[in-house]
Structure 1
């Protein structure tokens, strides 16, 4: 593994980037310093950038969110979201037609029928007691411990309901505040004996979607794609599972444990310990995307 100081140190070796958003490009509030500039410069030299995010939102919703955070349209070509991948599965009947939505109301766009499907099933949002399955886009209260849902999950598991997880992330940092994500709820449901279905990183469906989005722009082999992310269990595990080179961002979820200061690089010894503990073998590492 090589610790680099800028994306440009290695970007010439790749024709496309699969870039995570939260923890790499923005912190859930605003874009990170240097991220717009690094990605825009890469695209100006002919590189292609696909944002690959575990956001439960459809692509259009993420575009709107990125504008609010200050992410430049020049920084990317397209977006593949966990929400889009999971939403297609739901409208193909993966968890039935009567679905309990476990998530905040601002995720209601998840239930808009995808235009890419020719014959989608009709999905009806219903209370848990009437549901055939669960669509989990995240906790209603991201500060509450996932265990508060044990009573509902026990009832759902007893009836054999499948839980469709639209965001496999366990936690994210919104600014300086750590929040629970849909992945933590799906993990609890599985631990309780329920069945959870995943479509975001590190699972294959979102990478298939990212490749389809990339193929509409250019024909680029996996050997020329660099994955960029900060999540050991999502971004890193996904890239390794897909046999993609990986640039690991140490200043995201692992900033404290890797000794990564703001806009600085990690402590090499702490980073090696962190990577070994999580079983991550990146090609490169950098403190922040710059």
Structure 2
């Protein structure tokens, strides 16, 4: 495990990349140009790229958002999202009421065609968390609501397992932080997306579709910025990880100063993943 100056140093070892999106390809406000260029260069050299994201929306709804941020479509072959995996869970509640937590309209596409009703806690059979209601919220602000959900013994489906993401120059809480709180209080939580296996299985299907045939796990590289989702997910799926240090873990490892390889190793080691290397921002 060592510092890399670019993906090109290790790219010949891999036929395909499963790249995280938020924190690697963009920061929620704008694309990271070097990351977009790196993925496009990798594809131009014959590699396949599937973007694998914990965004709580179907992948079809993510493409316009990436266009808006300046992420070229030359940088990827396909996208799989936590929203795709969540829809499979939500299908079990067809014809029933669920209680939505998150921005009221941002995630409408998640429910399209599923014959669900978004309603009150009192009428709901499950709580569906896409994110916290606003970027300024913290999980502790939901304590009273959590008690009500617990009193009704409602299962929680978390469409975005991320705890935090970078948004511009700050970190904001995500749905996974609320899922953690609910589980800690004794609630039943189901999470879609990374690090759970179904999203990786779908990503592999898309890789092999793009490649036109089977691709061995040892020839697939995950790229991500989170130990909890990307490292643990890659380890569980048996693929290597290129760790991007300059996002949510930047302060811990002094990503843009004098990063300590041993500190990075200690941070990632508990996940069990095989590290192919690290860099602060993805570049070619």
TM-score normalised by structure 1 residue count: 0.91
Q: Distance in 1 between matches of 2:97 and 2:208?
A: 35
Q: Distance in 2 between matches of 1:179 and 1:58?
A: 21
Corresponding residue of 1:44: 44
Q: Distance in 2 between matches of 1:215 and 1:273?
A: 33
Is it true that 1:212 corresponds to 2:205 in the alignment? yes
Q: Distance in 2 between matches of 1:6 and 1:265?
A: 17
Aligned residues: 280
**210, 214, 223: which one pairs with 2:218?**
223
2:87 is paired with a residue of what secondary structure? helix
Corresponding residue of 1:183: 176
Q: Distance in 2 between matches of 1:266 and 1:200?
A: 29
Alignment check: 8 A CA contact 1:265 1:286 kept: no
Higher mean displacement: 268-277 or 17-26: 268-277
Alignment check: 8 A CA contact 1:266 1:286 kept: no
Corresponding residue of 1:154: 147
Corresponding residue of 1:100: 99
| Structure 1: stretches of 5+ with no match in the other structure | 114-119
> Displacement of 1:124 after TM fit?
1.1
Q: Distance in 2 between matches of 1:111 and 1:195?
A: 21
Aligned positions of 1:1-290 closer than 5 A: 1-93=1-93, 97-105=96-104, 106-113=106-113, 122-218=115-211, 219=213, 220-261=215-256, 266-276=259-269, 281-290=274-283
Q: Distance in 2 between matches of 1:41 and 1:127?
A: 49
Q: Distance in 1 between matches of 2:270 and 2:15?
A: 31
Deviations 1:179-207 (A, max 9, x none): 11000011111111110101111111111
CA separation of 1:280 and 1:242: change in aligned 2, threshold 3 A: closer
Q: Distance in 2 between matches of 1:150 and 1:11?
A: 46
2:107 is paired with a residue of what secondary structure? helix
Corresponding residue of 1:116: none
Corresponding residue of 1:117: none
> Displacement of 1:84 after TM fit?
1.0
> Displacement of 1:97 after TM fit?
2.1
Q: Distance in 2 between matches of 1:44 and 1:265?
A: 32
Deviations 1:105-137 (A, max 9, x none): 211221113xxxxxx6x3111111110111110
| Structure 2: stretches of 5+ with no match in the other structure | none
TM-score normalised by structure 2 residue count: 0.93
Alignment check: 8 A CA contact 2:232 2:271 kept: no
